[in-house]
Amino acid sequence: MGLFGTKKTGKYEIGRTIGEGNFAKVKLGYDTTNGTYVAVKIIDKALVIQKGLQSQDQREIRTMKLLNHPNIVQIHEVIGTKTKICIVMEYVAGGQLSDKLCRHKMKESDARKLFQQLIDAVDYCHNRGVYHRDLKPQNLLLDSKGNLKVSDFGLSAVPKSGDMLSTACGSPCYIAPELIMNKGYSGAAVDVWSCGVILFELLAGYPPFDDHTLVVLYKKILRADYTFPPAFTGAQKKLIFNILDPNPQRRMKLAEIIIQDSWFKLGYTPAYHHPDSIKENVAEINAETASSNFINAFQIIAMSSDLDLSGLLEEQDDKIYKTKIGSKNTAQETIKKIEAAATYASLSVERIKHFKVKIQPKEIRSRSSFDLLSAEVIEVTPTNCLIEISKSAGELRLYMEFCQSLSSLLTAEVS
């Protein structure tokens, strides 16, 4: 008998419930292949369809797969059955930040560290066009060492055009004024506001805006009507005041917090030195089996008419592009074709797994213009592969040039 008994999903033994919502439960899982704990979010497919929440679940999975940062909960894989969708994620043992606060303020140094990690993670997301929109202590987890992890991307957004979003969401105490007004808004400004509310709560032990009546609460938020506790320092007040500006145009930007604010910068070391570097354990890569990723059960189930999850496999908008190209070669030969196409397009290739590569300009430029492309080879048969090329940041031009180069190379060899 396994650690949790006989109940299994794939290679994971499923244990006790560690979280629960209206449409999903989060279970403690155990990976029988490597002896590590995971969190398994089990979503009831029937309830999701009944309530029309397919897009929200798609969004959470798609968003978490895009992000690779030490202060963001990592998604390991998605397993689908006829009745359930199981999202296997990193297990964060320390629980929710809200449990740690419990109306007790934190030491200034601890509050600053957590706020720095929060801003680091949110800045990373924004650089990829991803906006959380529901930041609150309940969605911030702590690991066993007290480091912060952002979770629950069910309300996150990758805008389709421009930078204005229109769907109101978020939690009452942490919601930005422009959301209450039910107008178009900037996802970046909304997240910054929530970060300011969280910082206030870290230092005070309670949120700046609170009331038993929702109407009164919203009036306070719209006016930015709050009072600093006497113990707050001048530097703390200045930072929070500049963040909690009800006018999103005047509200402090993330870059201004990171670069300009003296209170924030004290002892600050970015958790992610390069926003597009993909961390991999070399030993783990070498230990992998020399076979590519076969199309898994979830991808097949995603094609089911019961629940259209194709958005998880193919997404294209102003920020994120994915292209799939067929290859009549072995997986190893296909990787060599990818490397040749990248060279032709003046790009460099770094292999991060046996059948996945990172593609970038040979000369790394500024962070804002850095291009992140990745290509993954999925083996369909021993001599037929599917290449999935993704662009999550940077210029569209290089992405298109690489895709054209690879397509031409593959077409020429079979003609």
Residues annotated as binding site for ATP?
A: 41
Residue 32 near residue 12 (C-beta atoms within 8 A): yes
Residue type, 341: A
Q: Which residues are catalytic?
A: 134
Residue 220 near residue 175 (C-beta atoms within 8 A): no
What DSSP string describes 115-168? HHHHHHHHHHHHTTT-B-S---GGGEEE-TTS-EEE---TT-B--SSTTEE---
SS3 193: helix
Please give the structure tokens belonging to residue 410.
Answer: 């593959």
| Of 366, 217, 351, nearest in space to 292 by CA | 351
Rounded to whole angstroms, the Cα distance separating 188 from 125 reads: 9
What DSSP string describes 338-387? HHHHHHHTTEEEEEEETTEEEEEESS---GGG--EEEEEEEEEETTEEEE
Rounded to whole angstroms, the Cα distance separating 178 from 355 reads: 45
Distance of CA 249 to the CA centre of its chain: 25
Q: Residue 38: CB partners within 8 Å, gap ≥ 6?
A: 12, 28, 29, 30, 31, 76, 88, 89, 90, 91
